[in-house]
Structure 1
């Protein structure tokens, strides 16, 4: 799995983010542009990319009052709980 995908999953698995995070805030936490983060989010979601296979469906991206938001799905939360080692919250 790409390092960026793991970093995104770790950020979204932080306590208190069950309702998601604004895409610009996630991008800032990762130190990357929103377009790079959005590309990786697309691969972690469940939409088929370019007519290909669907991703694992671990993230959900939606628009809320004109702002893009992202959150883990139930499947993503379960995967993170099993696969990601506990790490301290990021600032």
Structure 2
């Protein structure tokens, strides 16, 4: 939930910045993103998506992720 809240506050952050702010290594964050991502092969929850921004990977909440965060704030 911490990752979702971080992105709800400021969507479109680089994967490196998110890892640093959460105190995670990149491999730990990648495993988390596999679970929270849209890939059905890994039973992803479709809450966070990764987009390429030139040479950077940027993280965004999906519409489903935004709805979940909005419901948590209520």
TM-score range relative to shorter protein: 0.7 to 0.9
| Other-structure match for 1:36 | 28
Q: Relative to total residues, which structure has the larger helix share, 1 or 2?
A: 2
- Give the superposed CA RMSD: 1.5
Unaligned 5+ segments in structure 2 are none
* TM value normalised by structure 1: 0.72
| Other-structure match for 2:66 | 77
1:11 corresponds to which of 2, 6, 15: 6
- The alpha carbon displacement at 1:39 in A equals 0.9
* TM value normalised by structure 2: 0.87
Unaligned 5+ segments in structure 1 are 1-5, 87-91
Distance 1:57 1:73 in 2: 7
- The alpha carbon displacement at 1:63 in A equals 1.6
- The alpha carbon displacement at 1:38 in A equals 1.3
Distance 2:53 2:27 in 1: 18
- Report the 3-state secondary structure (helix = DSSP H, G, I; strand = E; otherwise coil) of the residue aligned with 1:61: strand
Matched pairs, number: 73
- Report the 3-state secondary structure (helix = DSSP H, G, I; strand = E; otherwise coil) of the residue aligned with 1:40: helix
